[in-house]
């Protein structure tokens, strides 16, 4: 039974017109992608630019936001961890808190670096995959004389 049939049966039984299904939402803004506004489109140049920015961000974060490794001594402890150890030796509670802060910061930075790498790699992969798909489609859609079918001609089939 379809939704419309169910609504008709309910209306007939209750003797009142059906209100139908209503969704609580704002009307779609022009160009917001809903309704007849069109589909989501991402061009290869756009994907490449986002992937490149993610790569640059990964590089900068790796070099400039590493407080755990900054100013490393011969034992591999960064200057902030050295300060935390020194404070702890002198019984300052700040030492343990500083150590916890560095540990949390380092964990969050690793997660952020991993996310940037994932975005960059995924967009590069998607760009290459879709370029290959486009080439295969272009090779398979030809006119009788072997020339490529123009896009305007293809769009006639989707109207």
DSSP states along 26-74: PPPPTTSSSGGG------HHHHHHHHHHHHHHHHHHHHHS-TTTTT--T
| 138-156 tens-digit pLDDT | 777 777 777 776 666 666 6
Domains of the chain, by residue range, sit at 43-70+99-139
Query: In this structure, are residues 82 and 71 in contact, taking their beta carbons and an 8 Å threshold?
Result: yes
Is the whole-model pTM more than 0.85? no
Q: Give the mean model confidence (pLDDT) for residues 60-82.
A: 80
CA 29 vs. chain centroid, Å, equals 23
- Calpha distance 90→93 (Å, rounded): 9
What pLDDT, on a 0 to 100 scale, did the predictor assign at position 154?
60
Q: Give the mean model confidence (pLDDT) for residues 39-52.
A: 72
Q: Give the mean model confidence (pLDDT) for residues 85-105.
A: 92
């Amino acid at each position: 039974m379809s939704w419309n049939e169910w609504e008709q049966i309910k209306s007939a039984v209750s003797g009142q017109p059906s209100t139908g299904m209503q969704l609580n939402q704002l009307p779609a803004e022009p160009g917001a992608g809903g309704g007849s506004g069109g589909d989501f489109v991402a061009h290869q140049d756009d994907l490449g630019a986002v992937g490149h920015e993610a790569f640059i961000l990964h590089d900068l974060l790796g070099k400039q936001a590493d407080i755990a490794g900054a100013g490393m001594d011969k034992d591999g402890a960064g200057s902030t961890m050295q300060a935390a150890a020194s404070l702890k030796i002198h019984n300052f509670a700040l030492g343990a808190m500083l150590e916890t802060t560095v540990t949390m910061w380092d964990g969050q930075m690793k997660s952020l670096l991993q996310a940037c790498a994932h975005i960059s790699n995924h967009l590069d992969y998607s760009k290459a995959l879709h370029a290959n798909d486009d080439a295969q489609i272009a090779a398979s859609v030809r006119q009788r004389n072997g020339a490529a079918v123009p896009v305007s001609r293809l769009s006639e089939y989707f109207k």
